[in-house]
Amino acid sequence: MRSRGSISMKVLAILAIAVIIIAIVAYFFVLKPQPGPGPEEEQPKEEIVLRVITRHGYDILDKAEEMFLQSELAKEYNIVDIVWLSIDPGQWVDIIEASAKKPGKEIDVAWGGGPTLFDFLAREGLLKPIDSPLIEEILKEIPEEINGAPLVRKDKEGRIIWVAAAISSFGFTINTQVLKKLNLPMPSRWIDLANETFASTLPVPSVGVACPTRSTSNTRMYEIILQIYGWRKGWIIITLMGANARVYGESGLVRDAVIRGDIAVGITIDFYGYTAQIQNPENCRYIIPTDGTIINGDPIALLTTSKHPEAAQAFIAWVLSAEGQKVWLDKDINRLPANSKVFETPEGKQRSDLKQAYESTLGKIPINFSDELALSYENAMRWFFYATITDPHDKLQEAWRLLAKARLEGKISKEKFMQLIEELADPTKLEFVDPATGKKVTFTQEFAQSIEMKIIQNVDYRNELIEVWREAAIKRYEKVINEVKALAGS
């Protein structure tokens, strides 16, 4: 018979062993620190898709996307795709603001469209200051201005809000073969395209322009004319130029029409002219008007809506770098770079023609152009053009054709001709009732400036005003038609 003491000792031994086992298990499965995940277990970096709102054509966008996605910067920031949003400039603010309310659809970058468009975005609080060390380093290669044209825009605190990725001049592209065929003179000034000589081919137009509601480059050209000649005379030139022309829906279509020989001359941004010279070297030439042009920096900027600001700025840095500037060297693109270091690359050394155009442009003395003035009436100007030139174009062209024909045939005096031109095209003689006030007014520069914000913010007001302008324009075109017919006996 076992003693009670020996049983107790055995029980204690068993309990001790159990405690030891429990302690060991607890150490390995609960208390012992677990190793972190190995390299193969790390979470993969987020794949980034940049969203870019732009005025560039897909010839530029496709080339840029192909080159950038193969770059080291794209790989470093894990940027796997770019979504391009090619939007009319009048919709940019609404589209950008709306993107902020759509998770995953926020727009990161704005690229191309001219300084006034980007200055307007800045005024609306949509541009985020650029602060990437990558961009700061590249900016050492880009001047802050060229011939008075800003290539770097800063806010009131001195922070960079946009940088020009390319530079441009504005003029017209001619087809010498068509000029000769139509017996038209070689134009050298903006005002040449508004004279009665170019009306001699009507109703078949010899000139091409684009509606400013669809083209930021043509918007800029009309602003140049207004600042060279003043509001009243500038609008007379713009209106008669439009009367001599076919009005295209896109600026690229103007270029294509000159290359094909559909028209003799089209107003274009410079790189469209250089492309025409390459595609039709025997007949096409780009001309910088002797009565004035400007050099423009075409911006790129970071938007406040971006959810990937570091990656977005990496893309901006690439666009501004000598590597990214190679996009402009493509013979289907032909843009003048903002960073001249690109001409030192092997690809740049093969484009001596583009370098020569770059140096020639820098040698031009531009007009004293005010971005602030242009921005103060830009949208009013664009929609007035649409309402009085684009929409009632047939009626305008018929009035001008009859008037020019009567003058060319000597059926009316020069004095009467000039008087009827004012009736046809002087904006300060176009009377209409302002829908907002019910008062009779004319389209002076001061009136255009007074309605600028209203025409942007109130679509109903804008549409009412367009209709009022259109009706008033048609009325005066018909008046001129009837008066010319009475004078010329036709």
Tell me the C-alpha distance between 243 and 222, whole Å: 14
d(CA 32, CA 181): 93
Task: Give how far Cα 181 sits from Cα of 32, 185, 202, Å.
Answer: 93, 11, 15
Bigger pLDDT: 241 vs 16: 241
Question: Can you identify the CATH homologous superfamily of domain 170-287?
Answer: Periplasmic binding protein-like II (3.40.190.10)
The residue type of 210 is A
**pLDDT at residue 239 in the model:** 99
Cα 342 to Cα 335: distance, rounded to the nearest angstrom: 12
| pLDDT recorded at residue 3 | 44
Do you know the residue count of the chain? Answer: 490
| SS3 call for 48 | strand
Q: Which of residues 360 and 11 earns the better pLDDT score?
A: 360
Q: Which helix (H) or strand (E) holds 464?
A: helix 459-488
Q: For residues 5 and 265, give the distance between their C-alpha atoms in angstroms, rounded to a whole number.
A: 120
Please report which confidence band the pLDDT of residue 5 belongs to, taking 50, 70 and 90 as the band edges: very low
pLDDT at 366: 87
- Using one digit for the tens of pLDDT, what is the confidence trace for 423-463? 999 999 999 999 999 999 999 999 999 999 999 999 999 99
> What pLDDT is stored for residue 9 in this prediction?
52
Q: Is the pLDDT of residue 33 over 70?
A: no
Asked if residue 170 lies in contact with residue 294, where contact means CB atoms within 8 angstroms, the answer is: yes
Q: Cα(115)–Cα(159) distance, rounded to whole angstroms?
A: 17
Whether residue 238 contacts residue 390, with contact meaning beta carbons closer than 8 Å, is answered with: no
- The CATH homologous superfamily for domain 48-166+296-362 is Periplasmic binding protein-like II (3.40.190.10)
Residue with tokens 């004095």: 415
In three-state form (DSSP H/G/I as H, E/B as E, the rest C), the secondary structure along 358-406 is HHHHHCCCCCCCCHHHHHHHHHHHHHHHHHHHHCCHHHHHHHHHHHHHH
Average pLDDT, the chain: 92
The pLDDT tens digits for 79-123 are 999 999 999 888 999 999 999 999 999 999 999 999 999 999 999
